[in-house]
């Protein structure tokens, strides 16, 4: 039976940039589907994970740490606060700033979402051995570090 799936030109299918792009698109879909089961999105997870890892922070600091635009941070924090996953309180040192903290429910959700991310990684990397997975992470990290310097 002949495949009806669209095919890119053979010369393109062997280029690292095309392969990285296609794999990244697939990975993003898997992560998005995983987060949808939590009724949350990637921004939400990035913020919850940053708070779980680094503790309470101002909205501005969270935006910088997570590389999320200020207006998107505000909207995502509003969503998370509305679900009881974070609390927003004035900074005692500067009342103009808000400090965001995880609630116990938020910490639990951050752990559940991290488990989802782990499952997605297992699915995404299923054809690779543990050594190949480690090598892939090292190589991708090296590429990313190199291009972040530019």
The pair phi, psi for residue 25, each rounded to 5°, is -65, -45
The 10 Å CB-count burial string (b at 16+, else e) for 35-64 is: beeeebebbbbbbbbbbbeeeebebebbbe
The β-bridge partners of 100 are 57, 88
Q: Residue with structure tokens 């503790």?
A: 55
- Token representation of residue 73: 């941070």
pLDDT in tens, 17-74: 999 999 999 999 999 999 999 999 999 999 999 999 999 999 999 999 999 998 899 9
pLDDT in tens, 64-97: 999 999 889 999 999 999 999 999 999 888 888 8
Are 77 and 59 in contact, with CB atoms under 8 Å apart? yes
Residue ranges and CATH numbers for the domains of the chain are: 21-148 (1.10.10.10)
Q: Cα separation of 52 and 108, whole Å? A: 10
Neighbours of 79 (CB within 10 A): 17
pLDDT of 2 over the 80 cut: no
Global pTM reads: 0.83
């Amino acid at each position: 039976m002949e495949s009806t799936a669209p095919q890119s030109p053979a010369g393109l299918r062997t280029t690292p940039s095309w392969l990285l792009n296609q794999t990244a698109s697939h990975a993003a879909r898997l992560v998005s589907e995983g987060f949808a089961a939590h009724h949350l999105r990637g921004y939400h997870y990035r913020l919850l994970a940053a708070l779980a890892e680094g503790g309470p922070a101002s909205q501005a600091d969270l935006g910088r740490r997570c590389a999320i635009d200020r207006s998107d941070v505000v909207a995502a924090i509003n969503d998370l606060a509305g679900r009881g996953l974070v609390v927003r309180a004035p900074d005692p040192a500067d009342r103009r700033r808000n400090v965001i903290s995880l609630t116990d429910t938020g910490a639990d959700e951050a752990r559940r979402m991290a488990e989802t991310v782990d499952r997605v990684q297992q699915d995404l990397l299923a054809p690779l051995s543990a050594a190949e997975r480690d090598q892939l992470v090292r190589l991708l990290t090296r590429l990313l570090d190199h291009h972040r310097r530019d």
